[in-house]
Amino acid sequence: MRKHPGLSRRDLLKGTSAVLAGTAFSTRVMAAAPPAEPVTPTLIEAAKKEGQVVYYTSTDLPVAEKLAKAFEAKYAGMTVRVERTGAERVFQRVGQEYSSNIHAVDVVNSSDAAHFIVWKRDGILAPYVPEEVAKYYPDEHRDPDGQFASFRVWLSIIAYNTNLVKAEEAPKSFADLLDPKWKGKIVKGHPGYSGTIMTATYQMQRDLGWSFFEQLAKQNIMQVQSSTDPPKKLDLGERAVMADGNEYNIFQLKEMGRPVEPVYATEGSPIIVGPNGIFKDCPHPNAARLFQSFALGREGQQLNVEIGGLRSVHAQAQEKAGRKPLKDIKTMKDDPDAVEREGESIKSHYTRIFRV
């Protein structure tokens, strides 16, 4: 959700970039990714001497805290300070701190991958490639200069309430949502508030065209804000179908026995990526590297899957039983550069169509 209505997301990105350009951290050095680094006894010893990792993240707090506890259990004597808030607030906080020459954060996660484009452009991320990232991550999920990699992945999906919709009558595609029988029965999120829905809207308008949204707007949808809201409305039976929203919330609800069922549109489901990166001038550089290796390694990634209902691109991470494997799902292509570039026009166009 955007917390500062007087300041657009695009303005925030531009403004923070301009502020950072006036600091000593703005030099843009582009080079090939450094060699992959294994976790060694030397790294562990150096990390334990520092003792702490400061982690700014937009990951759900229970998931982030479980990741921190698992890391602390593996590396006795280490502590992780989790600072959890929304992605836009994470971004603003980093900008404010660095403009004041404050270097408090070690590792950062954001659900808005466009933030990493800005941080990289301003030269404040540290190149670091964990061994498992080099071995097990697809090229498209790791920065070519080694400055960040995909920590968590999820989809924006269609879903339905199984008490209100029979499986054989449920929509199978985005096109199916335009059937008159769904009029007044659909809920969806808003790209002006949710980074997930912004990313999904970009991908959908690119692949389906704005004409899809123009027709969807005639269906008298329930418009909500966050991408976590449509699953909640579905669970409560306030709407029969959701046009978008977090897949991981649907997983969590379904696995608690709630009456929801995911649908993977035949046209492809929008994919959302939340990277992790280390800051160049972080206070605990060795601890940051150790934590990054853990978070992006199999243990951290499996925790994301099991506890968070998230997806992992780590080749050795195992999907949870009962969930459709990501490899079997047709997805749309993520493009953070385009989202950062076109975000404001997407929100304006959407608002005109839906009048919200």
Q: How far apart are CA 20 and CA 185, in angstroms?
A: 46
Return the amino acid letter for 85. T
pTM over 0.85: no
Q: How many residues does the chain have?
A: 356
pLDDT tens digit sequence for 31-87: 578 999 999 999 999 999 999 999 999 888 888 999 999 999 999 999 999 999 877
Please provide the DSSP assignment of 227-276 as one string: TTHHHHHHHHTS-SEESS-BHHHHHHHHHTT-SEEEE--TT-B-EEEEEE
pLDDT interval class at 225 (50, 70, 90): confident
pLDDT tens digit sequence for 285-299: 999 999 999 999 999
The closest of 324, 262, 297, 272 to 152, measured between CA atoms, is 272
Q: How far apart are CA 191 and CA 97, in angstroms?
A: 27
In the chain, what percentage of residues exceed pLDDT 70?
91
Q: Mark out the alpha helices in the chain (DSSP H runs).
A: 9-21, 41-50, 61-74, 87-99, 114-121, 131-136, 195-208, 210-216, 229-236, 247-255, 285-296, 298-308, 336-354
As a whole number, the mean pLDDT across the chain is 90
Q: How far apart are CA 201 and CA 207, in angstroms?
A: 10
Q: How far apart are CA 77 and CA 248, in angstroms?
A: 32
- pLDDT score, position 31: 57
- pLDDT score, position 26: 31
Scanning the structure block, which residue is given the tokens 């595609």? Answer: 173
Task: Pull the structure tokens for residue 248.
Answer: 């991981």
Residue 20: pLDDT over 50: no
pLDDT tens digit sequence for 148-183: 999 999 999 999 999 999 999 999 999 999 999 999
Please provide the DSSP assignment of 127-175 as one string: P--BHHHHHHS-GGGB-TTSSEEEEEEEEB-EEEETTTS-GGGS--STG
What is the mean pLDDT of the segment spanning 270-294? 97
Q: How far apart are CA 22 and CA 301, in angstroms?
A: 37
